[in-house]
């Protein structure tokens, strides 16, 4: 339920959370002050400060697109697959075998593919040669498809707490290619806003959607969303191979895939607007989504309720409760590892991954409770083993 409403100079911001950090609140007020913002700003329960716009924010606009309201990891999202295995039938060596296969076949962190993947892996719906910035990045794309990246990206083996079914889940995006697109168009937005003498707020430079550069951004962003999906799909294929190595007869249900960093034309409150979701997931009525927790806590498969007040959106995860620097400064690696070890989670967390420790994140169950009018949890997943890209 909406817990708080704040006012900018233009529109209200409706928030599905009780407490918000000062830096995040300042960004929310900025969004609510944008002259091209539509109806209201929606802030999800996992919100925290980002670059220009909070992560966990939803911004609908009339006539413009805001690159920083999508973010730098364009198309970042989740995919999940249910297997026919039961967790109680898996031995620890089975899980470590799958994890070992993942580490051997999927480059992690800053690592790329040593050999370019086949061009058939590239998105086919948009002609790459028509994209002014991305058309020269094919080589980089072909070495980044099937790679995890670092930060909060992960591959996790999980069990359904109700049925004991085993699932696989991946969180990743469009890698460095998406980052370069985001930075390129944000710089163009800053340049043109200055040339147009347009008033802008920190980190919120915009591109009119009817300009050539605005249309280029939307097309290149759409390509990156598709590229991020291709990346997750390639990794999930490796995860499936890892399961087949230890359980040759394993079967898999169709993959669930969602993105949580993108902008799209949608109709809300009777008008066509550009909805920016930065760390937020679309949640139309009946739509299946994924809301992960931290590496030591539960994740959820959810069903959207189509709430118009959130622009039919929900959270994209647990959300950070402390910055990366604060996590490194205050958390104990020994304590964080002990807490996961006590749950039997295979994790391999190291000092340089302390910023992704469970204690750095909000309580996922509280986040889910705060958005009970946005989604309905249908599967609760507990972690068995996790691979991070530190």
Q: Which positions are annotated as active-site residues?
A: 316
Contact 371, 331 (CB under 8 A): no
Residues 74, 72: Cα–Cα separation, whole Å: 6
Residues 387, 148: Cα–Cα separation, whole Å: 9
Three-state secondary structure call for residue 184: helix
Contact 375, 283 (CB under 8 A): yes
- Residue of 227, 179, 203 whose CA lies nearest to 77: 227
Residue the block writes with tokens 């889910």: 368
Residues 372, 264: Cα–Cα separation, whole Å: 24
Q: Which two tokens stand for residue 131?
A: 């994209």
Residues 384, 388: Cα–Cα separation, whole Å: 14
Q: Which two tokens stand for residue 297?
A: 């806590």
Give 131's DSSP letter.
-
β pairing state of 375-388 and 154-160:
antiparallel
Residue 56 gets the label, from left (phi > 0), alpha (psi -120 to 50) or beta, of left
């Amino acid at each position: 339920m909406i817990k708080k409403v704040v006012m900018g100079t233009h529109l209200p911001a409706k928030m599905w959370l009780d407490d918000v950090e000062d830096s995040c609140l300042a960004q929310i007020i900025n969004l609510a002050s944008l002259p091209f913002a539509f109806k209201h700003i929606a802030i999800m329960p996992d919100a925290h400060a980002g670059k220009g716009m909070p992560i966990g924010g939803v911004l609908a606009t009339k006539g413009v697109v805001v690159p920083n309201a999508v973010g730098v990891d364009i198309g970042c999202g989740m995919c999940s697959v249910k297997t026919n295995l039961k967790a109680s039938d898996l031995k620890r060596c089975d899980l470590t075998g799958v994890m070992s296969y993942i580490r051997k076949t999927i480059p992690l962190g800053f690592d790329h593919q040593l050999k370019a993947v086949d061009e058939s892996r590239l998105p086919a719906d948009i002609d790459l040669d028509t994209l002014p910035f991305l058309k020269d990045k094919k080589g980089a794309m072909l070495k980044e498809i099937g790679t995890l990246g670092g930060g909060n990206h992960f591959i996790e083996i999980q069990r359904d707490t109700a049925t004991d079914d085993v699932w696989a889940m991946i969180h990743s995006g469009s890698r460095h290619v998406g980052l370069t697109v985001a930075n390129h168009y944000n710089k163009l937005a800053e340049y043109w806003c200055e040339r147009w003498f347009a008033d802008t707020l920190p980190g919120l430079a915009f591109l009119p959607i009817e300009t050539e550069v605005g249309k280029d951004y939307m097309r290149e962003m759409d390509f990156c969303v598709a590229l991020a999906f291709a990346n997750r799909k390639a990794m999930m294929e490796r995860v499936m191979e890892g399961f087949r190595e230890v359980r040759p007869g394993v079967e898999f249900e169709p993959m669930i895939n969602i993105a949580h960093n993108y902008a799209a034309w949608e109709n809300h409150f009777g008008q066509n607007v550009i909805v920016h979701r930065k760390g937020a997931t679309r949640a139309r009525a009946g739509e299946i989504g994924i809301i992960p927790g931290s590496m030591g806590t539960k994740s959820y498969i959810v069903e959207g309720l189509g709430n118009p007040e959130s622009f039919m959106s929900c959270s994209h995860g647990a959300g950070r409760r402390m910055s990366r620097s604060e996590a490194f400064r205050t958390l104990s690696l020994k304590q964080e590892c002990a807490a996961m070890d006590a749950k039997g989670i295979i994790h391999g967390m190291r000092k340089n991954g302390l910023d992704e420790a469970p204690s750095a994140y909000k309580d996922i169950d509280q986040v889910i409770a705060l958005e009970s009018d946005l989604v309905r949890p249908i599967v609760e997943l507990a972690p068995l083993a996790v691979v991070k890209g530190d």
